[in-house]
Protein backbone atom coordinates (compact mmCIF):
# COMPACT_ATOMS: atom_id res chain seq x y z
CA UNK A 1 0.00 0.00 0.00
CA UNK A 2 1.35 3.43 -0.95
CA UNK A 3 1.99 5.99 1.75
CA UNK A 4 -1.29 7.83 2.43
CA UNK A 5 -1.64 11.28 0.90
CA UNK A 6 -5.26 12.00 1.82
CA UNK A 7 -7.48 11.69 4.87
CA UNK A 8 -9.38 8.78 3.33
CA UNK A 9 -6.11 7.01 2.45
CA UNK A 10 -4.86 7.54 6.01
CA UNK A 11 -8.04 6.12 7.53
CA UNK A 12 -8.03 3.17 5.15
CA UNK A 13 -4.33 2.37 5.70
CA UNK A 14 -4.70 2.59 9.48
CA UNK A 15 -7.82 0.43 9.49
CA UNK A 16 -6.43 -2.16 7.06
CA UNK A 17 -3.15 -2.60 8.96
CA UNK A 18 -4.96 -2.58 12.30
CA UNK A 19 -7.24 -5.39 11.11
CA UNK A 20 -4.31 -7.33 9.65
CA UNK A 21 -2.41 -7.00 12.92
CA UNK A 22 -5.36 -8.26 14.95
CA UNK A 23 -5.84 -11.18 12.55
CA UNK A 24 -2.16 -12.05 12.75
CA UNK A 25 -2.27 -12.02 16.55
CA UNK A 26 -5.42 -14.15 16.55
CA UNK A 27 -3.68 -16.73 14.38
CA UNK A 28 -0.73 -17.15 16.74
CA UNK A 29 -0.38 -20.60 18.30
CA UNK A 30 0.08 -21.13 22.01
CA UNK A 31 3.73 -21.93 21.34
CA UNK A 32 4.21 -18.69 19.41
CA UNK A 33 2.46 -16.71 22.14
CA UNK A 34 4.35 -18.35 24.99
CA UNK A 35 7.84 -18.43 23.49
CA UNK A 36 9.94 -15.39 24.27
CA UNK A 37 11.00 -13.33 21.28
CA UNK A 38 14.72 -13.89 20.78
CA UNK A 39 16.36 -12.51 17.67
CA UNK A 40 19.90 -12.55 19.08
CA UNK A 41 21.06 -15.18 16.58
CA UNK A 42 20.08 -13.02 13.59
CA UNK A 43 22.97 -10.63 12.97
CA UNK A 44 20.84 -8.63 10.51
CA UNK A 45 18.49 -7.54 13.29
CA UNK A 46 20.72 -4.91 14.88
CA UNK A 47 18.18 -2.25 15.87
CA UNK A 48 17.53 -1.98 19.61
CA UNK A 49 13.86 -3.00 19.37
CA UNK A 50 14.82 -6.53 18.27
CA UNK A 51 16.36 -7.06 21.70
CA UNK A 52 13.91 -4.96 23.68
CA UNK A 53 10.54 -6.53 22.93
CA UNK A 54 10.26 -10.04 24.35
CA UNK A 55 6.63 -10.86 23.59
CA UNK A 56 3.38 -9.71 22.02
CA UNK A 57 2.50 -7.66 25.11
CA UNK A 58 5.66 -5.59 24.66
CA UNK A 59 4.74 -4.82 21.05
CA UNK A 60 1.17 -3.84 21.93
CA UNK A 61 2.33 -1.63 24.79
CA UNK A 62 4.84 0.04 22.46
CA UNK A 63 2.08 0.84 19.96
CA UNK A 64 -0.23 2.05 22.74
CA UNK A 65 2.42 4.33 24.23
CA UNK A 66 3.08 5.91 20.82
CA UNK A 67 -0.65 6.43 20.35
CA UNK A 68 -0.66 8.24 23.68
CA UNK A 69 2.27 10.42 22.66
CA UNK A 70 0.29 11.48 19.59
CA UNK A 71 -2.95 12.05 21.48
CA UNK A 72 -1.28 14.19 24.17
CA UNK A 73 0.72 16.15 21.59
CA UNK A 74 -2.32 17.04 19.53
CA UNK A 75 -4.56 17.81 22.53
CA UNK A 76 -2.00 19.99 24.28
CA UNK A 77 -0.98 21.96 21.23
CA UNK A 78 -4.52 22.47 19.96
CA UNK A 79 -5.32 23.82 23.45
CA UNK A 80 -2.47 26.31 23.12
CA UNK A 81 -0.09 24.47 25.45
CA UNK A 82 3.11 24.06 23.44
CA UNK A 83 4.51 20.59 24.06
CA UNK A 84 6.96 18.57 21.98
CA UNK A 85 5.86 15.26 20.48
CA UNK A 86 8.31 13.12 22.46
CA UNK A 87 8.34 12.84 26.24
CA UNK A 88 10.16 15.56 28.09
CA UNK A 89 13.90 14.93 28.16
CA UNK A 90 13.99 12.98 24.89
CA UNK A 91 14.66 13.92 21.29
CA UNK A 92 14.84 12.09 17.97
CA UNK A 93 18.40 10.98 18.77
CA UNK A 94 17.42 9.53 22.16
CA UNK A 95 13.88 8.27 21.55
CA UNK A 96 15.18 4.69 21.78
CA UNK A 97 15.83 5.35 25.47
CA UNK A 98 12.24 6.60 25.77
CA UNK A 99 11.04 3.32 24.26
CA UNK A 100 12.93 1.49 27.01
CA UNK A 101 11.08 3.60 29.59
CA UNK A 102 7.78 2.52 28.00
CA UNK A 103 8.93 -1.09 28.10
CA UNK A 104 10.09 -0.93 31.73
CA UNK A 105 6.98 0.74 33.10
CA UNK A 106 4.67 -1.81 31.48
CA UNK A 107 6.27 -5.11 32.45
CA UNK A 108 3.50 -5.90 34.94
CA UNK A 109 0.73 -5.35 32.36
CA UNK A 110 -0.96 -8.54 31.16
CA UNK A 111 -1.28 -9.42 27.48
CA UNK A 112 -5.07 -9.05 27.72
CA UNK A 113 -4.77 -5.59 29.27
CA UNK A 114 -2.15 -4.54 26.70
CA UNK A 115 -4.52 -5.58 23.92
CA UNK A 116 -7.38 -3.61 25.51
CA UNK A 117 -5.19 -0.52 25.86
CA UNK A 118 -3.97 -0.81 22.29
CA UNK A 119 -7.51 -1.18 20.96
CA UNK A 120 -8.74 1.77 23.05
CA UNK A 121 -5.92 4.08 22.00
CA UNK A 122 -6.29 3.07 18.34
CA UNK A 123 -9.97 4.02 18.54
CA UNK A 124 -9.07 7.41 20.07
CA UNK A 125 -6.47 8.05 17.36
CA UNK A 126 -9.02 7.28 14.67
CA UNK A 127 -11.56 9.59 16.34
CA UNK A 128 -9.04 12.45 16.30
CA UNK A 129 -8.23 11.83 12.64
CA UNK A 130 -11.97 11.95 11.86
CA UNK A 131 -12.25 15.41 13.45
CA UNK A 132 -9.51 16.87 11.25
CA UNK A 133 -9.84 18.19 7.73
CA UNK A 134 -7.83 17.11 4.71
CA UNK A 135 -5.91 20.40 4.90
CA UNK A 136 -5.16 20.02 8.62
CA UNK A 137 -3.80 16.54 8.04
CA UNK A 138 -1.80 16.95 4.84
CA UNK A 139 -1.04 20.61 4.23
CA UNK A 140 2.28 21.89 5.56
CA UNK A 141 2.42 24.78 8.02
CA UNK A 142 -1.18 24.44 9.20
CA UNK A 143 0.14 24.03 12.73
CA UNK A 144 3.41 25.73 13.61
CA UNK A 145 4.03 23.11 16.31
CA UNK A 146 4.29 20.34 13.70
CA UNK A 147 7.42 21.87 12.16
CA UNK A 148 8.16 21.35 8.47
CA UNK A 149 6.12 18.16 8.20
CA UNK A 150 2.39 17.48 8.18
CA UNK A 151 0.42 16.17 11.12
CA UNK A 152 -0.84 13.44 8.80
CA UNK A 153 2.67 12.05 8.54
CA UNK A 154 2.74 11.67 12.34
CA UNK A 155 -0.61 9.88 12.27
CA UNK A 156 0.74 7.54 9.58
CA UNK A 157 3.79 6.84 11.73
CA UNK A 158 1.79 5.92 14.84
CA UNK A 159 -0.81 3.87 12.95
CA UNK A 160 -0.32 2.08 9.63
CA UNK A 161 3.48 2.28 9.53
CA UNK A 162 3.82 1.22 13.15
CA UNK A 163 1.35 -1.61 12.68
CA UNK A 164 3.38 -2.79 9.71
CA UNK A 165 6.50 -2.75 11.93
CA UNK A 166 4.65 -4.85 14.52
CA UNK A 167 3.49 -7.38 11.93
CA UNK A 168 7.01 -7.79 10.55
CA UNK A 169 8.30 -8.43 14.04
CA UNK A 170 5.60 -10.98 14.83
CA UNK A 171 6.14 -12.74 11.50
CA UNK A 172 9.89 -12.90 12.15
CA UNK A 173 9.15 -14.43 15.56
CA UNK A 174 6.82 -16.99 13.99
CA UNK A 175 9.39 -17.91 11.37
CA UNK A 176 12.05 -18.34 14.02
CA UNK A 177 9.77 -20.60 16.09
CA UNK A 178 8.57 -22.65 13.13
CA UNK A 179 12.04 -23.07 11.58
CA UNK A 180 13.34 -24.79 14.73
Contacts from 148-155 at CB under 8 Å and sequence distance 24+? Answer: 151/74, 152/4, 152/7, 152/10, 154/70, 154/73, 154/85, 155/10, 155/14, 155/70, 155/125, 155/129
Q: Judge whether 89 lies within some domain.
A: yes
Domain span at residue 109?
Answer: 7-27+48-179
Would you state the pLDDT for residue 1?
A: 64
Q: Judge whether 97 lies within some domain.
A: yes
Split into its structural domains, the chain has a count of 1
Whether this model's pTM surpasses 0.75: yes
Mean pLDDT across the chain, nearest whole number? 95
Q: Name the residue among 176, 180, 178, 179 with its Cα closest to residue 40.
A: 176
- Tens of pLDDT, residue by residue over 136-151, are 999 999 999 998 899 9
Q: Judge whether 42 lies within some domain.
A: no
CATH code for the domain of 136? 1.20.120.450
Give the range among 8-22, 39-53, 86-100 with minimum mean pLDDT.
39-53
Q: Judge whether 35 lies within some domain.
A: no
Would you state the pLDDT for residue 32?
A: 93
Q: Judge whether 2 lies within some domain.
A: no
Amino acid sequence: MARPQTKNDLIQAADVNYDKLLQLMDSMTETELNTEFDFSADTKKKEAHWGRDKNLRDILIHLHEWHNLMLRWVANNKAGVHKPFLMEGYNWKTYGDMNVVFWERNQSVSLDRALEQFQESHKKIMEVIQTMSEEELFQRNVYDWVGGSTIGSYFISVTSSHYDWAMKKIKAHRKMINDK
